Amino acid sequence: ANKKVFDFAKKLGIRTITADPAHDAFDSLDKLVAEYDIRIAIHNHGPTHRYNKLESVASAIQGHDKRIGACVDCGHYLRSGEDPVKCVLTLGDRVYGVHMKDEAEMNTPKSSNVVLGKGHLDVVGLFKALRQVKFPADGALSLEYEANPQNPIDEMKACLEAAREAIAKSA
Q: What is the pTM of this model?
A: 0.95
pLDDT tens digits for 85-129? 999 999 999 999 999 999 999 999 888 899 999 999 999 999 999
The closest of 139, 145, 143, 140 to 164, measured between CA atoms, is 143
pLDDT tens digits for 22-45? 999 999 999 999 999 999 999 999
43 - beta bridge partners?
71
- Burial of residue 168 (CB within 10 Å: 0-12, 13-18, 19+) is exposed
3-state secondary structure (DSSP) of residue 63: coil
